[in-house]
């Protein structure tokens, strides 16, 4: 394909992305997981540009107003970050929205809002970041934030789950196309995490406790914990096209787990196998 490099990215030495001295872009960096990622990257010595619809007063990095559903806004925002930071080498595509509605009740406008933000918006950001990195000629590392909902079947979340499954596939295709330029593309799939989006579940009685109980490590994830996984994936030099579940093991829960029924019959204690 025209524009692809003939020698391998490995031979050029472009696959290693150091955080210190790097130029990073983070979408949705004003709150939640994105804000925690910004903190990790800044502490590691990277220059950071935050793209978000919200104003970020007192930000130590470059704050750029951006609506990822608006193509022109994304093009302007990424270009500004690329030019003002001296060439992007790192990116975390985190911006997204949640939603709830059963298939029989879901309006097409709500479908378009969620899919348009989470999938189309991530595509726009990925495309523009990739163009900037190819132009820079130094390779790069991109992480898109998807969700364990992208490979689970949660009722009332068809639009959200479909959008996040689409992001995971976008990651894989992008990794194949951008590898020859020394650009790695991976995904991180959080589970339930204490963010403003998760706060909306407070209206569901017992939801938080039930999720915490079914998480292998117990409890609900923190933005800082997920951000640590994202930053780690950014630096993995021989990994591309992969999606890491940073969910504390909640996606390991199975509705047909026989031990769960045994626990219920023994009053909460885990039964031991007979000798």
Q: Measured between alpha carbons, how far is 139 from 188 in angstroms, rounded to an integer?
A: 20
Q: Measured between alpha carbons, how far is 211 from 1 in angstroms, rounded to an integer?
A: 47
Q: Which residues are CB-contacts of 118 (< 8 A; sequence separation ≥ 6)?
A: 96, 97, 160, 163, 164, 166, 167
Catalytic residue among 100, 111, 123, 160: 160
Structural domains present in the chain = 17-265 (3.40.50.720)
Compute the Cα dihedral for 173, 174, 175, 180 and give only its sign.
Answer: positive
pLDDT at 271: 55
Q: Nearest Cα to 119, choosing from 163, 149, 160?
A: 163
244-263 tens-digit pLDDT: 999 999 999 888 888 877 77
The tokens for 256 are 């047909």
pLDDT at 8: 44
Q: How do the pLDDT tens digits run along the chain, 275 residues long?
A: 444 443 444 444 444 468 999 999 999 999 999 999 999 999 999 999 999 998 776 666 899 999 999 999 999 999 999 999 999 999 999 999 999 999 999 999 999 999 999 999 999 999 999 999 999 999 999 999 999 999 999 899 999 999 999 999 999 999 999 999 999 999 999 998 988 877 777 777 888 888 888 899 999 999 999 999 999 999 999 999 999 999 999 999 888 888 877 777 776 655 555 55
Q: Measured between alpha carbons, how far is 228 from 125 in angstroms, rounded to an integer?
A: 22
> Is there a contact between 88 and 48 (Cβ–Cβ < 8 Å)?
no
pLDDT at 48: 97
Q: Nearest Cα to 99, choosing from 167, 161, 31?
A: 161
Is 160 one of the annotated active-site residues of the chain? yes
pTM of whole model > 0.85? yes
H helices within 56-120, ranges in order?
Answer: 71-84, 108-115
pLDDT at 257: 81
Q: State phi, psi for 229 to the nearest 5 degrees.
A: -65, -40
Q: Measured between alpha carbons, how far is 84 from 62 in angstroms, rounded to an integer?
A: 9
Helix H, strand E, coil C: the string for 199-248 is HHHHHCCCHHHHHHHHCCCCCCECHHHHHHHHHHHHCCCCCCCCEEEECC
Cβ neighbours around 247 below 10 Å, total:
24
pLDDT at 12: 41
For the chain, counts of helices (H) and of strands (E):
10, 7
Strand order in the sheet with 140-145: 62-65, 47-52, 23-27, 90-93, 140-145, 183-190, 243-246
pLDDT at 123: 98
31 exposure class (CB count in 10 Å sphere: 0-12, 13-18, 19+): middle
């Amino acid at each position: 394909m025209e524009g692809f490099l003939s020698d391998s990215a490995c031979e050029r030495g472009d696959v290693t992305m150091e955080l210190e001295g790097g130029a990073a872009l983070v979408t949705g960096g004003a709150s939640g997981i994105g804000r925690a990622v910004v903190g990790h990257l800044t502490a590691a010595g990277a220059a950071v540009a935050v793209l978000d619809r919200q104003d970020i007063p007192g930000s130590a990095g470059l704050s750029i107003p951006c609506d990822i559903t608006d193509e022109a806004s994304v093009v302007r925002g990424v270009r500004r970050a690329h030019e003002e930071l001296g060439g992007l080498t790192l990116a975390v595509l985190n911006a997204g929205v949640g939603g709830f509605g059963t298939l029989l009740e879901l309006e097409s406008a709500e479908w378009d809002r969620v899919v348009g933000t989470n999938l189309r918006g991530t595509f726009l950001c990925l495309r523009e970041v990739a163009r900037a990195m190819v132009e820079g000629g130094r390779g790069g590392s991109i992480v898109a934030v998807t969700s364990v909902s992208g490979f689970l079947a949660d009722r009332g979340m068809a639009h959200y789950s479909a959008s996040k499954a689409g992001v995971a596939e976008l990651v894989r295709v992008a990794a194949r196309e951008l590898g020859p330029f020394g650009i790695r593309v991976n995904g991180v799939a959080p589970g339930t995490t204490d963010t403003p989006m998760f706060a909306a579940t407070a209206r569901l009685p017992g939801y938080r406790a039930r999720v915490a109980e079914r998480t292998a490590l117990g409890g609900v994830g923190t933005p800082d914990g997920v951000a640590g996984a994202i930053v780690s994936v950014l630096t993995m030099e021989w990994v591309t096209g992969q999606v890491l579940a940073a969910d504390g093991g909640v996606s390991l829960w199975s509705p047909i787990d026989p031990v769960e029924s045994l626990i219920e019959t023994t009053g909460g204690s885990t039964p031991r196998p007979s000798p």
